[in-house]
Amino acid sequence: GVSVTGVRPGSTEASAYVQEDFALFTLDKDEARALADLPPLETPFGEFLADRGADVLLKQRIGMVRTDRPLLALRRDGAARKATIVGEGLWRWRSADRWMHGSTDHFDGLVHSIVQFLAVHTDRNRFRLKADDLFSEDEPVRIEAELYNASYEAVNGPEATLLVKDEQGEELAYVFTPSGNGYRLEVQGLAPGRYTGSASV
């Protein structure tokens, strides 16, 4: 969440801008620009501080000045997840999105991503492999992998690797190729035998 201390009477208008290193879910550049165009929210006068462990999605822009004050933050605390917005007037954003961009896609996409983040159960595996257990000597070993961010959106930005070990303990390293929203790997020329492997990102 967000803590606000030293609150004084009155409020100020704060527009939003996207924190560039936010990684809990994906916002493209078009969505980030659209959010920056939306009307300002009324925020209290005071000192704003994101709670420890919070990921700030939107920060406050006062006039043309970008501040470090959080406007919208999300947080995971064990199995609990929460989102905090510090301001009033969020209802205007959907109407403004329709008026400015011809649809409510940007606002609805933001709300959908936040709800998806809040609704996710933490027991799901975020890196998954799909491969057969047995392969013929003359066929390549094909492996597909999926990686999910904290909101369980499929991503393939980080490099994914596979370390294969043969029966003698010799190790071979491979790098997956991004493919669609996931990864692919094709390994050829392995000698017959039993292999173990571990994949990582």
Do both 185 and 106 map to the same domain?
Answer: no
Q: What pLDDT was estimated at residue 122? A: 56
Within its chain, how far is the Cα of 176 from the centroid?
21
Last-in-domain residue among 70, 100, 119:
119
Do both 9 and 97 map to the same domain?
Answer: yes
Strands 154-155 and 161-165: unpaired
Report the CATH number that the domain containing residue 151 is assigned in CATH: 2.60.40
Do both 145 and 72 map to the same domain?
Answer: no
Do both 189 and 108 map to the same domain?
Answer: no
Q: What pLDDT was estimated at residue 37? A: 92
Do both 62 and 88 map to the same domain?
Answer: yes
Number of Cβ within 10 Å of residue 78's Cβ equals 6
Half-sphere exposure of 24 (CA within 13 A, CB side): 25
Q: What pLDDT was estimated at residue 25? A: 85
Q: What pLDDT was estimated at residue 124? A: 61
Do both 92 and 143 map to the same domain?
Answer: no
Q: How many domains does the chain have?
A: 2
Which pTM value belongs to this model? 0.63
Do both 6 and 98 map to the same domain?
Answer: yes
Q: Six-digit token pair at 89? A: 């007037």
Do both 132 and 98 map to the same domain?
Answer: no
Do both 139 and 182 map to the same domain?
Answer: yes
Q: What pLDDT was estimated at residue 179? A: 92
Averaged pLDDT, groups of 10, the chain, 201 residues long: 76 92 85 92 86 89 93 85 90 93 92 86 73 81 87 85 89 92 90 85 86
Do both 10 and 108 map to the same domain?
Answer: yes
- Residue range of the domain that includes 48: 2-119
Do both 85 and 133 map to the same domain?
Answer: no
Do both 112 and 17 map to the same domain?
Answer: yes
